[in-house]
């Protein structure tokens, strides 16, 4: 049977899952499919048989373990295994974003990471903002900014959601300041009215335009240290390019530690420097 023949979405997802388990966990059995997809025993057996037909050299049955294991000739055909995908799933489970039962990883390796303070985004607030974006409406919000002691009501016309690595924002047109700004979702204390908005997201130049940040190893590092940093950041010829929305440039620089002069910290602590920055042509947006 040709692997290129179209499959129903549900069947294809289960075949992708079989391949994921073979690649990352070394094996898969019928009960794995039943537990994750809540299908019948005959259906799970049928899925395994279909996978063997489509990828005859990828799995062999281990009678002692009672499961299919990846063969030495294993070569994925239903998915492209990505390290970033695996690590993001691992982190999502560890951070409580994803329940372990919803993860495709069978055996989660021990994981540790720096604690991130919980951000108090109200569920109904987020729902209102998302609805306003979808319906192209303005919403009246009670917002607490650092520039005033007390929260104040204002109309904003949100058009996007942003994340700075720690906090969630909505990108919106502020009718008080008459400009597009970032509003922290956790500082929206209350919402009340909605109304149609005539403000178009196309006018948010800083959101729609991109810049490319070109980074390289700190020049004061040794040559061997520079090679290590180049590996860390996937650099080629001592350079790596990071494409970011102009509106998020400040957050990107802050996360990379590039919001302070290179001399402010030891080269071993700073590790990278900003080599160049340029705009991205509209053709590449």
Identify whether residues 173 and 213 lie together within a single domain. Answer: no
Q: Report yes or no on 95 lying in a domain.
A: no
Domain span at residue 178 reads: 123-201
Tell me the per-residue pLDDT of 164-205, one tens digit each, with 9 for 90 and over: 888 899 999 999 999 999 999 999 999 999 999 999 999 999
- Token reading at 146: 């650092």
3-state secondary structure of 150: coil
Q: Which tens digits make up the pLDDT trace of 14-59? A: 999 999 999 999 999 999 999 999 999 999 999 999 999 999 999 9
Please report whether residue 184 resides in a domain: yes
Q: Is the pLDDT of residue 282 over 90?
A: no
Would residue 31 count as lying in a domain? yes
CA angle 141, 144, 147 (to 5 degrees): 125
102 domain residue, yes or no: no
Around Cβ 206, how many Cβ atoms within 10 Å?
16
The residue length of the chain stands at 285
CA 173 – CA 188 distance, rounded (Å):
15
Query: How many domains, the chain?
Result: 3
Asked whether residue 185 falls in the same domain as residue 157, the answer is yes
Query: 120 falls in which pLDDT band (50, 70, 90)?
Result: confident
Angle at 157 between CA 154 and CA 158, to 5 degrees: 115
Structure tokens at 83: 């390290």
Instruction: Provide the mean pLDDT of the chain.
Output: 91
């Amino acid at each position: 049977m040709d692997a290129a023949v179209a499959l129903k979405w549900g069947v294809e997802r289960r075949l992708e899952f079989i391949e994921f388990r073979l690649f990352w966990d070394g094996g898969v059995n019928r009960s794995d499919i039943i537990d994750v997809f809540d299908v019948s025993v005959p259906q799970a057996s049928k899925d395994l048989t279909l996978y063997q037909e489509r990828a005859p050299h990828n799995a062999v049955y281990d009678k002692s373990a009672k499961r299919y294991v990846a063969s030495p000739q294993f070569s994925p055909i239903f998915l492209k295994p990505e390290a970033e995908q695996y690590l993001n799933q691992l982190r999502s489970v560890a951070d409580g974003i994803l329940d372990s039962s919803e993860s495709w990883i069978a055996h989660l390796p021990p994981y540790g990471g720096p604690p991130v303070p919980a951000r108090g985004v109200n569920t109904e607030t987020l729902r209102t903002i998302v609805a306003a974006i979808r319906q192209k409406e303005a919403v009246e919000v009670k917002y607490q900014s650092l520039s005033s002691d007390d929260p104040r009501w204002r109309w904003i016309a949100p058009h996007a959601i942003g994340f700075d690595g720690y906090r969630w924002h909505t990108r919106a047109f502020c009718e008080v300041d008459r400009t597009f700004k970032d509003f922290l979702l956790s500082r929206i204390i209350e919402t009340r009215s909605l109304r149609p908005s005539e403000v178009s997201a196309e006018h948010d130049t800083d959101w729609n335009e991109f810049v490319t940040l070109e980074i390289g190893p700190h020049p004061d590092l040794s040559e061997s240290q520079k090679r290590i940093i180049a590996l860390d950041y996937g650099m080629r010829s001592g350079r790596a390019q990071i494409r970011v929305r102009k509106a998020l440039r400040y957050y990107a620089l802050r996360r990379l530690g590039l919001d302070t002069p290179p001399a402010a910290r030891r080269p071993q602590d700073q590790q990278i420097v900003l080599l160049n920055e340029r705009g991205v042509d509209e053709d590449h947006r």
